[in-house]
Amino acid sequence: MSLNASTSHTPFSTTTATAGVPRPTEPRPFTTSFCVQRFSGDIDMQTAADFALALDRVLGTSPEGVVLDLSQVGFFGSSGLSLLATFAADAGRHGIPVGVVGPRTVTRPIEACHLHTDLDIFETVDQAGSALADRLAG
């Protein structure tokens, strides 16, 4: 089993929706930059150390927000859940919002363990970044 991780810093515009008024199609100037950490493969006991190292590296950059893209993760085991819980708590202590993107096989265990109270779950990286940027702006 293997785990691949890649990190990028992605700017997101902060736009606020008003009832009945659609969001602009052209983004406003970028004001918030998020760390997007992408993972692919399986997160289990064999890859837990790599997962932990990647998460530590993310917090070490002191981002304004973090989006964990787990959409290419095939298996998300209990060791990954434990590390994600620690990461979410550490990020929360630093005031860093965290969004997770992933398939149902990843998000269901997160919800079952009630980790979704410490982080937000989204369907796409764009949705996650926009929502977290809006939360920081408002």
Q: How many CA atoms lie within 13 A of 59 on its CB side?
A: 19
Query: How far is it, in rounded angstroms, from Cα 138 to Cα 131?
Result: 11
Query: Is residue 18 situated within a structural domain?
Result: no
Axis-axis angle for helices 78-93, 48-60 (nearest 10): 10
Query: Is residue 10 situated within a structural domain?
Result: no
Query: Is residue 6 situated within a structural domain?
Result: no
The domain that holds 123 is classified in CATH as 3.30.750.24
Q: What is the pLDDT of residues 40-79, one digit of tens each?
A: 999 999 999 999 999 999 999 889 999 999 999 999 999 9
Instruction: Using pLDDT thresholds of 50, 70 and 90, give the confidence band for residue 136.
Output: confident
Give all strands (DSSP E) within the chain, no chain letters. Answer: 3-12, 32-43, 66-76, 98-101, 120-122
Whether pLDDT at 92 is above 90: yes
Query: Is residue 12 situated within a structural domain?
Result: no
Query: Is residue 24 situated within a structural domain?
Result: no
Query: Is residue 76 situated within a structural domain?
Result: yes
**pLDDT score, position 27:** 44
Domain containing 78 equals 37-137
Query: Is residue 114 situated within a structural domain?
Result: yes
Exposed, middle or buried by CB within 10 Å (0-12, 13-18, 19+), for 109? Answer: middle
- Report the number of distinct structural domains present in the chain: 1
Query: Is residue 64 situated within a structural domain?
Result: yes
Q: What is the pLDDT of residues 104-131, one digit of tens each?
A: 999 999 999 888 788 999 999 999 988 9
Give the predicted TM-score (pTM) of the model.
Answer: 0.80
